[in-house]
């Protein structure tokens, strides 16, 4: 990668996050990243609540990456409004519960198989939450929430 592009990718976009955190991980593209300021604001709020480092496992994904992964569902990562995260010294269930308190996060997924939390700032009025385990996605609701988060 050209030195100027590396400098651009390391540019801070908030107090705790840089463009590099959200860069596509495909290793093939040199695309400008898309990242929502609402997502960054939500992540900063989450960090201020937990006072721990947030690891961005996946942020923006280029359209080519999404096609190679055969992810034909609505891909919020390629829109720049999603991130898969972990939080240092918090287990996944604690991180999920904390993410639920952030108003900007409208989509929140607990991925037990891949050991991360998915968060996104989709343009919906109500929050949607789900659990993913062994390739199966189950929507969380009032009836089953405690079963999975206890």
Q: What is the pLDDT of residues 16-56, one digit of tens each?
A: 999 999 998 887 776 678 899 999 999 999 999 999 999 99
CA atoms of 19 and 33, how far apart (whole Å): 8
pTM: 0.86
Q: Which of 58, 64, 62 is nearest to 109 (CA)?
A: 58
> Phi then psi for 50, rounded to 5 degrees?
-95, -20
Q: Please state the domain extents for the chain.
A: 3-149
pLDDT of residue 72: 47
What residues does 85 pair with on adjacent strands?
A: 56, 117
Low-confidence ranges of the chain (pLDDT < 70): 1-9, 30-31, 65-74
CA atoms of 76 and 27, how far apart (whole Å): 19
Of 3.40.50.10070, 3.90.550.10, 3.30.1380.10, 3.30.70.1140, the CATH number of 3-149 is 3.30.1380.10
């Amino acid at each position: 990668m050209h030195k100027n592009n590396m400098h651009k990718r390391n540019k801070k976009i908030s107090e705790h996050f840089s463009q590099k955190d959200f860069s596509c991980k495909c290793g093939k593209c040199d695309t400008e990243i898309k990242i929502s300021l609402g997502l960054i604001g939500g992540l900063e709020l989450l960090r201020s609540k937990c006072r721990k480092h947030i690891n961005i496992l996946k942020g923006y994904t280029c359209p080519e990456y999404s096609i190679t992964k055969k992810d034909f569902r609505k891909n919020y990562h390629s829109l720049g409004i999603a991130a898969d995260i972990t939080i240092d010294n918090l287990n996944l269930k604690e991180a999920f519960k904390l993410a639920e308190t952030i108003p900007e996060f409208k989509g929140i997924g607990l991925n037990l198989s891949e050991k991360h939390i998915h968060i996104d700032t989709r343009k919906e009025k109500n929050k949607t939450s789900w659990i993913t385990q062994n390739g199966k996605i189950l929507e969380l609701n009032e009836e089953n929430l405690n079963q999975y988060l206890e």
